[in-house]
Amino acid sequence: MEAAVIESIIPTPDLMNARRILAIQPHYDDNDIGAGGTLALLHELGAEIHYLTVTDDLMGVLDASLSPVKAKKVLEAEQDRAGAVIGVSSQIRLGYPDAGRYDYFELRANLLKYMRLLKPDFIFTPDPWLAYESHRDHIQCGLAAASAANLVSLLRLPSSDPEVDRNYQPHDLTGVAFYYSATPNTPVDISGTNEKKIQAIRCYEAQFMREDMEMLLQVLTRKESQYAQSQGMELAEGLKVMAPMQLHCGL
Amino acid sequence: MEAAVIESIIPTPDLMNARRILAIQPHYDDNDIGAGGTLALLHELGAEIHYLTVTDDLMGVLDASLSPVKAKKVLEAEQDRAGAVIGVSSQIRLGYPDAGRYDYFELRANLLKYMRLLKPDFIFTPDPWLAYESHRDHIQCGLAAASAANLVSLLRLPSSDPEVDRNYQPHDLTGVAFYYSATPNTPVDISGTNEKKIQAIRCYEAQFMREDMEMLLQVLTRKESQYAQSQGMELAEGLKVMAPMQLHCGL
Amino acid sequence: MEAAVIESIIPTPDLMNARRILAIQPHYDDNDIGAGGTLALLHELGAEIHYLTVTDDLMGVLDASLSPVKAKKVLEAEQDRAGAVIGVSSQIRLGYPDAGRYDYFELRANLLKYMRLLKPDFIFTPDPWLAYESHRDHIQCGLAAASAANLVSLLRLPSSDPEVDRNYQPHDLTGVAFYYSATPNTPVDISGTNEKKIQAIRCYEAQFMREDMEMLLQVLTRKESQYAQSQGMELAEGLKVMAPMQLHCGL
Amino acid sequence: MEAAVIESIIPTPDLMNARRILAIQPHYDDNDIGAGGTLALLHELGAEIHYLTVTDDLMGVLDASLSPVKAKKVLEAEQDRAGAVIGVSSQIRLGYPDAGRYDYFELRANLLKYMRLLKPDFIFTPDPWLAYESHRDHIQCGLAAASAANLVSLLRLPSSDPEVDRNYQPHDLTGVAFYYSATPNTPVDISGTNEKKIQAIRCYEAQFMREDMEMLLQVLTRKESQYAQSQGMELAEGLKVMAPMQLHCGL
Amino acid sequence: MEAAVIESIIPTPDLMNARRILAIQPHYDDNDIGAGGTLALLHELGAEIHYLTVTDDLMGVLDASLSPVKAKKVLEAEQDRAGAVIGVSSQIRLGYPDAGRYDYFELRANLLKYMRLLKPDFIFTPDPWLAYESHRDHIQCGLAAASAANLVSLLRLPSSDPEVDRNYQPHDLTGVAFYYSATPNTPVDISGTNEKKIQAIRCYEAQFMREDMEMLLQVLTRKESQYAQSQGMELAEGLKVMAPMQLHCGL
Amino acid sequence: MEAAVIESIIPTPDLMNARRILAIQPHYDDNDIGAGGTLALLHELGAEIHYLTVTDDLMGVLDASLSPVKAKKVLEAEQDRAGAVIGVSSQIRLGYPDAGRYDYFELRANLLKYMRLLKPDFIFTPDPWLAYESHRDHIQCGLAAASAANLVSLLRLPSSDPEVDRNYQPHDLTGVAFYYSATPNTPVDISGTNEKKIQAIRCYEAQFMREDMEMLLQVLTRKESQYAQSQGMELAEGLKVMAPMQLHCGL
């Protein structure tokens, strides 16, 4: 007997209504690679977009002669350029060590802080339940973001900043959009913004050799086309959008 | 080519034979929300039922003016009342910090202690492999309970209490029943005990505003009906029941 | 609407081309139980095979009168005998405490060391994304091996041994083969080497009572037959083989 | 050449002016054993006294048949009786595992909470710099209390409770009095309150066999007499009293 | 019988011969407060001076309206100005969270990196064995720096950067100079550079209210005068200077 | 006013009565370097002597071409030879990573195990309160050994081995002898056994270049002579011997 799979019975929030987005990424290019077309589209539709990058992303810098301090400057400049293409209002950088050790609870408290400070209605982040994702930064980032989204309104739970907690009044966080998901429920047509997405990704020169960059862009396009076809579209990013309360007990 | 999915070949233990149950929950109301109908039914059928609560569950208490000491007393009283409805023999409370940091190995050693002390034939606990469960307490609780169930008979592995280990003779732990599971294999008809379940859940007033309580009860009923229909029943909780040896290597 | 499942678009590496294998296992018998037939076959086809065992595996030793020092010697002798059957060139033993606490990052740095030192083209390890695997050693081992495979060529990421890093030139790691997987993509016909596999497993006497050993062998054979039939074979191990770059972002 | 020893140049706060005391102890009897005479005296002089106990103190309970739950009740009742003798207004119990693992930063955040909530002018705690103190609970407790006393007014540093931080206005913490110190600077004449001290200590029956209790009391009296003589007194507790700002950089 | 105190029998290295100094501090002003006069003097005598700051030092920033990003910029600008006064060649900033959680081994591996990269002959750092120092940042920083100084030449011990290890040839680290020490063995006459020291400290405006700055400078001058007198000088910083091999086994 | 120093009032145990010794060392040569003369003497007087080595001691092995497995064999052989000189009955090796990360509580639980198994009357270990000892292995080893000695008889505190706890009856641990102490209280005349000590130390060839070995032996002899003279002896090791109950609260 085949086991029945129990699905959530709560309706999927409508991403297209997003007004203020906090997009939380492990490395400096994940938001753009995973959801750059969608984010550019939402910006065109009037949404305010903030990026938060968890790690310092230093491990993948190709030029071995760059010191950490210089490499960091290069990365930030690239990220600023890419952000201008997508329409990012601000860049928050937590600076945890790339592929390194950092504390889940400290990270979550930092995410709580920025959720309470900026009061976004939508969170973007990588899907940490993606099977065969081996990068701990992605798993920790996605789990901490999901947990913070689920618990943000509990006033007894401290963020990393008492000043922020002091002034916070619970607000309405509508949804979490996971990218890099194996089971998307929300296809977003990015035919109109894919150019921006590609232009943004091309800014990230410090970590991709020219031919690797071309291969990455080809792979992305092929995945987006393939998924789009199954949805009757031409080019689409697939997101898993959920209400915060769905992130608990399988509701 | 679609990948074949390899299923376990070991038969599912028969939950209806349970004689002594240790139901291990992260928060004080999870056993009742996830499996209260089944537990009440098994109690009516003669099983002895013990609840073990991992955390102090303080984060969700609504009344901001309650001190931790007072909030704890309120929660315990509510839990005692609910337990009387279901038929719970004893309440064990480990008191780890809700949504906080505690050690997996210490928790598992504590669970080993109570498994060796009480010698249950069935364990209940949340399914920690539920995708999109973001609450670390649920994941840690389920993983530690599953691991303890799998390893309980290894006498070289210490529990948290040498006195208990000193007196322990390996016993037969028949099965683990996971609730909040997306892939249940054991539907339990709770038409006869759903009233008790609802009455028990209504005891948890400190953490639910009146309208949230009503919504929770509606959502539960809808999920239980929907799942029941797929099983040719009217109202059912869906559990994933496994033999302890299945919790290793995909046997 | 049923959610589409997004699959990887990168081709599966051909395991049969393996020339040098590093098989990373949590306990001293996992490689043989999970993939002994395949490994013996690849050895017959000319591949060089190295085993790395993460833990000291002491928890399951049956004879309670054996001291840790003596138990360790017994286990190593058994493992050497089994290795001779399969065709293992060297046994690396990290000695972390079985079912105990050890650091993910230290483990991964050690795995990086041996990947950089031995330069294998294929890694074997348990699938850590197997649902209902409760043994933390298996999850940690598989996650650390997968992450090390994905990051091994990043020269800014230190292994546990500066001497090894000093001499390392990035090499071509072709694939990772996960055993104990619920979604294998590579059936390997082991009709010709199953005898060796069984002979190897029978060496592990310290942790299996005679009847448990017989039961284990029966369960394995039944699973391998059942899976083989779905692939039009007689006896097969099912492996999930992936390119290292697939272990990130669902590429 | 003998090295000069650089002493602090900041004056020692006057303990006799204490109006509200938070006495932070690792186990349930340390405040009374280390400073019970002084605390009883300060209470007689009008000070309000609060006890905070870090651990659950379960390891030393003699009666092996007592379950943790029952042992905890016995300990709390004894502590309440002893507190009534000394004049303790409230008992705060954090419940960390005795002789076990708990997190320094979580503990310090909890101590910050109660310092900000109660606004004491003096803190009591064991001297964690006492050479040959082997009990980690004492070292962690003293270090966390000293650090919290030094940092309590930094509003950017969160306590464990945002509600408390929300309402906190920096207050004047005058001093920290360390007991169990090898280098006391403040002898307190306890001739008038030693009776109370002894009566309080005699309440702790669960952890001392009768003869051990008598020996403890004798040792204490002998130490207090010996130290008192060096100060021209008859019976004295020796405390190391310091201003919070002295607990940094050797000022 | 008074216990004899066993002193080291290895001669104290001559600090005045320092040619390249790595001064490792927990917060951005500690080197200057603890040893600014000595460092300015050594720079005048021709030594090259590098500062490494362990934490981001954000907790003490007074202006509550400054965001972390802006506060960081202010602190760095102040530190650059102060460094110009003393004669600092480069500022390395690790950015660990001030008064927060970070890993001892990661920190030590980072310190090993910069010791191997810069090859200083002298290290400066706070004395972590100072009794009644409660600030964990100071204790961790001093312990990690001392351990790194003691172990820097062991090539089997990895730093955080394989590239640096790859190129490192063991060099002669002559001494470690601890400031904030209660038992200095090396008085340094700073009559000629105290002006610079004061000017440098006055740069740190973000963390000191005007009157606190004046008090700090007064306290420092008084301590330096008092210590100087015991050494027959007028104004002196007292340092504990030791050979790296003395930092082990009491040699 | 000079602060009075409060000394312990409990008499120093008589080391010369030792019948069974467990000497706990961080690295494989510390017992011999720190107390080899005393241990050889006690063996001559009839005491049974067991060595427990906490780490694998691999960091200091000079020959860079030795793999860890081979280096370990070399170290063990050297240690066995040295042990034969001193009169060591058994060598227990825990194998924690030298200069690496391991858990204090796991280590202490292991030490509790061997204390309960072997029932020594005296423990030897490095003094972890030695100022300017920078090696974390020494500090952790000494603290864990001291704590285990202080708590060994508490039956509620588990060791790492339930089998051992099951059979343990509290025994009389008379004393702890700390070597590498700055404040020894027990001079032991080693004129008659210094030859053995030197012969034992000369076995440790893998970690000392010839000239370093000679220098070490000279430094040791000079320290032992110097200390001996202050005690009216010719050659003496200085130990700090304490009763287990002195290792708590400054009793």
Q: Which residues of F touch D227 (CB under 8 A)?
A: 4, 6
pLDDT at C125: 98
Under the banding of pLDDT at 50, 70 and 90, the label for residue A9 is confident
Q: Which residues in F lie closer than 8 A to residue C100 (C-beta atoms)?
A: 106
Burial class (CB in 10 A: 0-12, 13-18, 19+), F163: middle
Q: By the 8 A CB rule, do F118 and F16 touch? A: no
Percent of chain A predicted with pLDDT > 90: 92
Q: Is F21 left (phi over 0), alpha (psi -120 to 50) or beta?
A: beta
Please tell me the distance from the alpha carbon of residue F102 to that of residue F136, in angstroms, as a whole number.
Answer: 10
Between the CA of residue D134 and those of D105, F125, F245, what are the distances in Å? 21, 13, 10
Contact C134 B149 (CB under 8 A): yes
Residue among A193, A204, A199, A200 nearest A237 (CA): A193
Residue F8's pLDDT band, with cuts at 50, 70 and 90, is confident
Using a 10 angstrom Cβ sphere, with 0-12 exposed, 13-18 middle and 19 or more buried, the burial of residue E20 is: middle
Q: Which phi and psi (to 5°) does residue D242 adopt?
A: -140, 150
Who among A5, A150, A156 is closest to B134 (CB)? A150
pLDDT of residue B2 exceeding 80: no
Work out the average pLDDT over B42-59. Answer: 97
What share of chain F has pLDDT > 70, as a percent? 98
Predicted confidence at residue F92, as pLDDT, reads 96
Give the mean pLDDT of C216-239: 94
Mutant choice from F101, F108, F117 vs C, greatest count of C C-beta within 10 A: F101
Mean pLDDT of A36-43: 98
Q: Is the pLDDT of residue E1 over 60?
A: no
What was the pLDDT predicted at A44? 98
Reference A216, options A204, A229, A226; nearest CA is: A204
Pairs across B and F, CB distance < 8 A = 37
Residue of D6, D106, D108, D147 to mutate for E, most E C-beta atoms under 10 A: D6
- pTM of the predicted model as reported, rounded to 2 decimal places: 0.92
3-state SS, residue D169: coil
CA C7/CA A183 separation, integer angstroms: 10
- The chains found to touch B (3+ Cβ pairs under 8 angstroms) are A, C, D, F
- The residues, any chain, with a CB within 8 Å of residue B40's CB and separated by 6 or more, are B85, B86, B87, B190, B193, B196, B197, B200
DSSP of B84-130, one letter per residue? HHHT--EEEEEEEPTTS---HHHHHHHHHHHHHHH--SEEEEE-TT-
Tokens representing residue E197 in the block: 């020291």
DSSP 8-state symbol, A50:
E
**pLDDT confidence band for E8 (50 / 70 / 90):** confident
User: Where residue C122 falls among pLDDT bands split at 50, 70, 90?
Assistant: very high
Question: What is the spatial distance between Cα C225 and Cα C211, in angstroms, rounded to a whole number?
Answer: 21
- The chain-wide mean pLDDT, for chain C, equals 95
| Percent of residues, chain D, with pLDDT higher than 70 | 98
pLDDT at res. E9 = 76
Please give the pLDDT value at position C1: 36
Cβ separation of A106 and E103 shorter than 8 Å? Answer: no
| Best to test chain F binding among E5, E6, E130 (most F CBs inside 10 Å) | E6
Q: What is the pLDDT of residues A142-151, one digit of tens each?
A: 999 999 999 9
Q: Which chains touch F (3 or more CB pairs under 8 A)?
A: B, C, D, E
Q: How confident is the model at residue E5 (pLDDT cuts 50, 70, 90)?
A: low
Between strands C175-179 and C236-242, the pairing is antiparallel
- Distances in Å between the Cα of C145 and the Cα atoms of C52, C168, C178, E158 are 11, 18, 10, 20
Residue ranges of chain D with per-residue pLDDT less than 50: 1-3
Report pLDDT digits (tens) over B189-217. 999 999 999 999 999 999 999 999 999 99
Contact B64 D92 (CB under 8 A): no
With CB atoms and an 8 Å threshold, state whether E147 touches F136: yes
Residue F190's H or E segment, with its range, is none
pLDDT at C4: 59
Structural contact between residues D237 and D139, judged by C-beta atoms closer than 8 angstroms: no
Torsion of CA E11, E13, E14, E19, to 10 degrees: 160
Residue A88 parent element (H or E): none
**C-alpha distance from A62 to closest chain C C-alpha (Å):** 9
Q: What is the pLDDT of residue A2?
A: 42
Which pLDDT value is given to residue E4? 60
| Position F59 confidence tier, pLDDT thresholds 50, 70, 90 | very high
In this prediction, residue D2 carries a pLDDT of 42
pLDDT score of C165 more than 90: yes
Judge whether residue C7 has pLDDT over 90: no
A5 pLDDT more than 70: no
Mean pLDDT, to the nearest integer, of C171-195?
97
- Say whether C158 and E166 touch across the interface (CB within 8 A): no
Size (chain E), residues: 251
What's the pLDDT score for residue B3?
Answer: 47
The per-residue pLDDT for range E173-204, each reduced to its tens digit, is 999 999 999 999 999 999 999 999 999 999 99
Report, in this order, helix, strand and coil percent for chain D, each rounded to 5. 45, 15, 40
pLDDT for A4: 59
**Are the beta carbons of A242 and A125 closer than 8 angstroms?**
no
Which residues of chain C are within 8 Å of residue B250 when distances are taken between CB atoms?
Answer: 130, 132-133, 180-182
Helix axes F30-44, F210-230, angle to 10 degrees: 60
pLDDT band at A8; cut points 50, 70, 90: confident
Distance CA D35, CA A212 (A): 69
Q: Is the pLDDT of residue A206 over 70?
A: yes
Task: Please say if the pLDDT value at position F60 is more than 50.
Answer: yes
Specify whether the backbone of E249 is left (phi greater than 0), alpha (psi in -120 to 50) or beta: left
What secondary structure letter does DSSP report for D17? Answer: G
Q: Is the pLDDT of residue A10 over 90?
A: no
Q: What is the dihedral of CA C36, C38, C43, C48, to 10 degrees?
A: -80
> Which residues in chain C have their CB less than 8 angstroms from residue E166's CB?
162, 165-166
| Pairs of CB atoms within 8 A across E/F | 83
Report residue F131's pLDDT band, with 50, 70 and 90 as the boundaries: very high
Is residue D37 a contact partner of residue D196, using CB atoms and an 8 Å limit? Answer: yes
pLDDT digits (tens, 9 = 90+) for A46-72: 999 999 999 999 999 999 889 888 999
User: When comparing pLDDT for B29 and F9, which is higher?
Assistant: B29
Whole-Å CA distances, E180 to E35, E86, E138, E173, F151:
9, 19, 10, 21, 35
* One-letter amino acid of D18: A
The answer to whether the complex's ipTM is over 0.90 is yes
Q: Do chains C and B touch (3 or more CB pairs under 8 A)?
A: yes
As a whole-number percent, the residues of chain B with pLDDT over 90 amount to: 92
Q: Is the pLDDT of residue E2 over 60?
A: no
Please state the rounded mean pLDDT for residues F21-47: 98
Question: How many A×D Cβ pairs under 8 Å?
Answer: 36
**Chain C residues within 8 Å of chain F (Cβ atoms):** 64, 69, 92-93, 95, 97, 100-101, 103, 106, 163
* Separation CA E39–CA D64 (nearest Å): 61
Answer whether A6 sits within 8 Å of B227, measured CB to CB. yes
At B69-94, the pLDDT tens digits run 899 999 999 999 999 999 999 999 99
Average pLDDT over residues E245-249: 95
Q: In the structure, do chain D and chain A come into contact, i.e. share 3 or more CB pairs under 8 Å? A: yes
Report pLDDT for E68: 87
By C-alpha distance, the chain B residue nearest A130 is B131
Residue pair E193/E40 in contact (Cβ under 8 Å)? The answer is: yes
- Report the candidate in F18, B76, A230 with the shortest Cα–Cα distance to residue D73: B76
Q: Search chain B and give the residue with CA nearest C237.
A: B6
Query: Given strand E186-189, what is the order of strands in its sheet?
Result: E90-96, E48-55, E20-25, E122-126, E175-179, E236-242, E186-189
Mean pLDDT over the full length of chain B: 95
What is the pLDDT at residue F10?
87
